[in-house]
Amino acid sequence: MVRFEEESLTPASPTAQYLNSTALNVCVIAVLESQIPIDDSRAVPLLRTLFLPLNPRFSSIMIEDNRGNKQWKQVEVDIKEHIIVPTFPSDMSLESYDQYVEDYVSRIAGEHLPQNRPLWDLHIIKYPTTNSAGTFVFKLHHSLGDGYSLMGALLSCAQRVDDPSLPLTFPSSKKALKKDSIFRRFSQIVSPIFKSVPDFGWSVLKSTMMKDDETPIRSGDEQLKFRPRTISNVSFSVSTIKQVQQKLGHGVSVNDVLVGLIFLGIRLYMKEMESESSSKAESTALVLLNTRNVRAYKSVNEMVDTKGKTPWGNRFAFLHIPIPKLSDDDRKVISEPLEFVWEAKKMIERTRYSLAVPLTGMLLDVVNKLRGAEVAARYVHDTVKNSSASISNVVGPIEQVSVGNHPLKGLYFLHVGFPESLTITIMSYIENIRVAFGVESGFIDVHKFKSCIQKSLQIILKAASD
Q: What is the pLDDT of residues 192-222, one digit of tens each?
A: 555 666 777 767 777 778 899 999 999 988 7
Domain boundaries, the chain: 3-160, 189-398+419-465
Per-residue pLDDT tens digits for 97-144: 999 999 999 999 999 999 999 999 999 999 999 999 999 999 999 999
Is 250 in contact with 426 (CB distance < 8 Å)? no
pLDDT of residue 368: 86
Euclidean distance between CA atoms 315 and 15, whole angstroms: 8
Beta strand pairing call for 120-125 and 70-76: unpaired
Phi, psi of 35 (to 5 degrees): -80, -20
Q: Which residues contact 165 (CB under 8 A, 6 or more apart)?
A: none
What's this model's pTM, rounded to 2 decimal places?
Answer: 0.87
Residue 397: what residue type? P
pLDDT value, residue 292: 55
**Contact present, 383 and 284 (Cβ < 8 Å):** no
Along the 466 residues of the chain, how does pLDDT read in single tens digits?
344 444 568 888 888 998 999 999 999 999 999 999 999 888 898 899 988 998 889 999 999 877 778 899 999 999 999 999 999 999 999 999 999 999 999 999 999 999 999 999 999 999 999 999 999 999 999 999 877 778 778 888 889 999 999 888 888 654 444 444 444 444 444 455 556 667 777 677 777 788 999 999 999 887 777 788 999 999 999 999 999 988 887 788 888 999 999 999 999 999 888 765 566 788 999 887 665 555 444 544 554 444 445 555 666 677 788 888 876 655 545 457 888 898 888 887 776 667 777 777 788 888 888 888 899 899 889 999 999 999 988 888 999 999 989 999 999 999 999 999 999 999 999 999 999 999 999 999 999 999 999 999 999 998 888 7
Q: Give residue 189's pLDDT.
A: 47
Dihedral sign, CA of 431, 299, 426, 245?
Answer: negative
In angstroms, the CA 333 to CA 416 distance is 32
* Fold match between domain 3-160 and domain 189-398+419-465: yes
- Judge contact between 146 and 313, C-beta under 8 A: yes
Degrees, nearest 5: CA angle 415-316-186: 140
Per-residue pLDDT at 260: 92
| pLDDT of res. 199 | 72
Return d(Cα 246, Cα 259) in angstroms, integer.
16
Rg (CA), the chain: 22
Buried (b) or exposed (e) across 99-122, using 16+ Cβ within 10 A? ebbbebbbebbbeebeeebbbbbb
pLDDT for residue 176: 41
CATH 3.30.559.30 for domain 189-398+419-465, yes or no, is: yes
Q: Cβ distance 390 to 424 under 8 Å?
A: yes
Q: Give the whole-angstrom CA distance, residue 334 versus residue 268.
A: 11
Assigned CATH topology for domain 3-160: Chloramphenicol Acetyltransferase (3.30.559)
